[in-house]
Amino acid sequence: MRKLLPAAVLALVAFGGEVASAQSFKPSVFGSVVLPTGDAGNAFNTGFMAGAAADVGLSMPVSWRAEASYARFGLKNDGAGDTGSSSDVSGRINAVFSLPSMGVSPYIIGGGGLYHVMASVTSPNFGSADVSSNRFGWNVGAGIDMQVASIPARIEARYHSVSMDGGSKYTYMPITFGIRF
């Protein structure tokens, strides 16, 4: 968490004045089923994500969303008895472009942030290894804000891509349900 502090301070400095004069400020919490894709899809099982966000509406149709989340995936059974997991703690700033509609509010979202990626593997043949690193990544997707039994809610799907060593990518797609306050 201490490693994400510089990114949070940068976001506050960059958007602090806008938050103070914002037309709206809407916090939310969310949970996701996360599908690893690309090389991550070959190595990891479906995972989960949990997090919190704050939408700051500056001018329609564009607003900003700051997010913090934790995602985790278990290692697929490789037949050799290896066990392990991968996870990340991330902080992101996204632009949200709201589309005109009636009843529900569709939107397109995209942005970037800092991902603290961690992996742990235990092998009966080679022992254990733990690695972690801070990486920059980006995300893009779409969603809908709506009312569910008079509760402000959100459903969205996004694609996350995090740059790793050697040009490889750590990618996944969360399918998210959130509650807005």
Task: For residue range 35-63, list pLDDT tens digits in order.
Answer: 999 988 988 999 999 999 999 986 678 99
Q: Give the model confidence (pLDDT) of 97-130 as tens digits.
A: 998 777 789 999 999 999 999 999 998 888 899 9
Tell me if 132 sits within 8 A of 165, measured CB to CB.
Answer: no
The predicted model scores a pTM of: 0.83
Query: How does 130-150 read in b/e, with b if 16+ C-beta sit within 10 Å?
Result: eeeeebebbbebebebbeeee
With a cut of 50, say whether residue 139 has pLDDT above it: yes
State residue 59's pLDDT score: 67
Q: Please, what are the domains in the chain? A: 2-180 (2.40.160.20)
Whether pLDDT at 148 is above 70: yes
